[in-house]
A and B are shown apart, each in its own frame.
Chain A
């Protein structure tokens, strides 16, 4: 029998119509994870001189994860019920499903919020903005005592989960452009790390004692941009026949210009030639990385949704 000339519902998939809140959430979650992971690694492995810079990283994570929480709640179609994500009202028991990345993610956002809040307080104590004795003792216990290494490592793992699970979330769906490549979590993590580091560079003041730290941060950011470039290339290859959803048309333009050129290649050039724009090089490259990080998420979330019902 002949084929259907109308290409009648050849793929019966409905788009969840995830919009701007989710794109911003994915972007901010990456930044929150990136700044916290970088700060903990720098505190655990860096020199004592790095601490001044590290605490500025801790200042970012908590406010950003708060914004994430607000975005997550406002994105719901029944936002007043957001607690159902953590509590099952029918049986009055905690709500946790290990096989639902969104359920695990909900808990990790909360847990990460706790870690980043303590980091935030620690930073304020170190900056002498908080002098309450018990808070000073508490934050020192979590960040400077013998127990601190374990605390920081667990917090870092929470950050890693936060930075990758948004990719797992998209992978465990039926939308072909989201499921075709398992490299999505790696791409989101590398992008989040580089955006987080870029933001840390922006808030690190120009002081001679921080030059060494800034230099390390610049180098770490350069590594992350390279990792992101590699992850993006592999992501596009593994997308196979669905690559067109993000590499052509409007989304393709955003990907090649907004992500590859503006968000990756130009910042990489500026990191290799730090004198190219004089003292503005760090500012410009960091801003470009942040723009690229947002556009990447916009393309990856919106592109594969286009062309399906409900969008």
Chain B
């Protein structure tokens, strides 16, 4: 168990999509620009998604009515969730993904071999391989800043305080109070995303005002290992089937060849 369980509470209801957090993250972590700035063609957001050079990304969720007379924008400052049950950590074959003393999930850049298996293990699409370092990259929750008692760069830069950093249990209390308030204000779908029902709890959790799927968040993310037992079970069944069939093919004649000539097989040309 970590010394302290540190994390973030991201209240999407107060985020106004300024991307200050995204810029602060890039600046502090010295993350390079993408090759070019381009329009996605589908959104005013020009980043698209989290990547090896974008450890934080403000999602623009643009909602329009059928006749486009009504429009609504939702914003979600997205990053690694530092899950209690982290899929990336589970599958990593080299122990390059570790849990820090702050209970955050950290990629040891000296141990990572760039096998990409962690990418398949993350249900949130957080990790990507850097073409520069050849290793997996994602938000570290500014581990270097935490070690000297500072808060992550994104939380410090946020002008609306929608990103709050601190002890997870304290943040959860704030979030629960906020949920009640939002519901009283008429946001009937207000909900906390990242309590213990989601992968044992997310150290970076969210206040949403719509269903998770509207933000592109999985409703019920699972550890990749959930399929492993079944997969191995079918593997054994396959081994038995293939083994028996091969055995049948090679044994059947043998029975009728019991009197087969025992010719010298000591060497074969």
Q: A85-B94, A186-B234, A189-B235 are in contact. Are A50 and B111 (CB under 8 A)?
A: no
C-alpha spacing A185/B237, complex, angstroms: 10
State whether A171 touches B228 (Cβ < 8 A). yes
B216-269: which residues lie under 8 A (CB-CB) from chain A? 216-218, 224-225, 227-228, 230-235, 237-239, 241-243, 245-254, 257, 260, 262-263, 265, 267-269
CB-CB under 8 A from A179, the residues of chain B are: 224, 227
- Please pick, from A82, A89, A189, the residue contacting B111 in the complex, using a CB distance under 8 A: A89
B241 to nearest A CB, angstroms? 6
Q: List, in ascending order, chain B residues with CB within 8 A of A88's CB.
A: 94-95, 111
Residues of chain A in range 14-32 having any CB-CB distance to chain B below 8 Å? 14-18
From B112, B119, B257, give the contact of A47 (CB < 8 A): B257
A60 vs B126: C-alpha distance in the bound complex, in angstroms? 41
Residue B125 at the A interface, CB < 8 A?
yes
Q: Given the complex of chains A and B, what is the CA–CA distance between A100 and B112 in angstroms?
A: 15
A102–B228 CB distance below 8 A: no
**Alpha-carbon separation in the docked complex, A197 to B172 (Å):** 60
- B235 neighbours in A (Cβ, 8 Å): 160-161, 164-165, 167-168, 185-186, 189
The 8 Å CB contact of A168, one of B49, B210, B228, is: B228
Whether B250 pairs with A50 at a CB distance below 8 angstroms is: yes
- The reply on A145 being an interface residue by CB < 8 A is no
| A300 and B233 alpha carbons, distance in the complex (Å) | 20
**In this assembly, does B179 line the interface, its C-beta being within 8 Å of a C-beta of chain A?**
no
How distant is the Cα of A76 from the Cα of B134 in the complex, in angstroms?
8
Residue of B nearest to A15 (CB): B119
The answer to whether the Cβ of B158 comes within 8 Å of any Cβ in the partner chain is no
A131 → chain B closest CB, angstroms = 10
CA A216 to CA B250, docked complex, whole Å: 6
Q: Are B61 and A8 in contact (CB under 8 A)?
A: yes
The segment from B27-35, B85-93, B144-152, B200-208 found at the interface with A is B85-93
Chain A residues near B252: list those with CB within 8 A.
Answer: 216
Cross-chain contact A185 with B234 (CB below 8 angstroms): yes
Say whether B249 contacts A168, CB under 8 Å: no
On whether the beta carbons of A127 and B94 are closer than 8 Å, the reply is no
**Does A309 lie within 8 Å of B93, measured CB to CB?**
no
Q: How many A-B residue pairs have CB under 8 A?
A: 266
Q: Which residues of B contact A12 (CB under 8 A)?
A: 49, 123-125, 216-218
When distances are taken between beta carbons in the complex, the residues of chain B under 8 Å from A1 are 63, 72, 210, 214
- Known contacts: A12-B216, A128-B269, A193-B242. The answer to whether A77 contacts B116 by CB under 8 A is yes
| Contact A220–B246 (Cβ < 8 Å) | yes
Contacts of B247 in A (CB 8 A): 41, 45
Q: Name the interface residues of B129-160: CB closer than 8 Å to any CB of A.
A: 129-130, 133-135
A10 touching B213, Cβ below 8 Å: yes
B239 and A164: CB pair below 8 A?
yes
| Interface bits B60-77 vs A (CB < 8 Å: 1, else 0) | 011111100010100000
| Among candidates A4, A6, A8, A189, residue contacting B242 with C-beta atoms closer than 8 Å | A189
- Tell me the interface secondary structure of chain A in the complex: helix
- Specify which chain A residues have a CB less than 8 angstroms from the CB of B111 in the assembled complex: 81, 84, 88-90
- The complex places the Cα of A185 from the Cα of B240 at a distance, in Å, of 13
Contact between B90 and A99 (Cβ–Cβ < 8 Å)?
yes
Flag the segment in A111-119, A223-231, A246-254, A260-268 that touches B.
A223-231
Residues of A within 8 A of B96 (CB): 84
Q: How far is the CA of A128 from the CA of B269 in the complex (A)?
A: 7
Find out whether the CB atom of A17 lies under 8 angstroms from the CB atom of B116: yes
Beta-carbon contact of A100 and B113 below 8 Å? no
Of all chain B residues, which has the CB nearest A13? B125
Instruction: Please give, as numbers and ranges, the residues of chain A lying within 8 Å of B135 by CB-CB distance.
Output: 77-78
Which residues of chain A are within 8 angstroms of B257 by Cβ–Cβ distance? 47
CA gap between A308 and B49 in the complex, in Å? 11
CB distance from B195 to the nearest CB of A (A): 19
Residues of B contacting A220 in the complex (Cβ-Cβ under 8 angstroms): 245-246, 249-250
Could you tell me which residues of chain A, from 197 to 236, have a CB within 8 Å of some CB in chain B? 212, 215-217, 219-220, 223-224, 227, 231
CA distance in complex: A156, B127 (Å): 37
Point out residues on A near B: beta carbons under 8 Å. Answer: 1-6, 8-18, 37-38, 41-42, 45-52, 55, 75-79, 81-82, 84-85, 88-90, 95, 97, 99-103, 106, 126-128, 156, 160-161, 164-165, 167-169, 171-175, 178-179, 182-186, 189-190, 193, 212, 215-217, 219-220, 223-224, 227, 231, 308-310
List the interface of chain B (C-beta within 8 A of A).
42-43, 48-51, 59, 61-66, 70, 72, 87, 90-96, 108, 110-117, 119-130, 133-135, 210, 213-214, 216-218, 224-225, 227-228, 230-235, 237-239, 241-243, 245-254, 257, 260, 262-263, 265, 267-269
Q: Could you show 26 A-B contacts with beta carbons less than 8 Å apart?
A: A12-B123, A16-B116, A17-B119, A18-B116, A41-B246, A45-B251, A47-B253, A48-B260, A49-B263, A85-B93, A85-B94, A90-B111, A102-B117, A103-B94, A127-B267, A160-B239, A169-B117, A171-B228, A172-B120, A174-B87, A186-B235, A190-B242, A193-B246, A220-B250, A224-B242, A309-B51
Given A4-B62, A178-B120, 13 more contacts at CB 8 Å? A2-B70, A14-B127, A37-B243, A75-B115, A89-B110, A100-B90, A127-B269, A164-B235, A164-B238, A173-B120, A185-B235, A216-B252, A231-B238
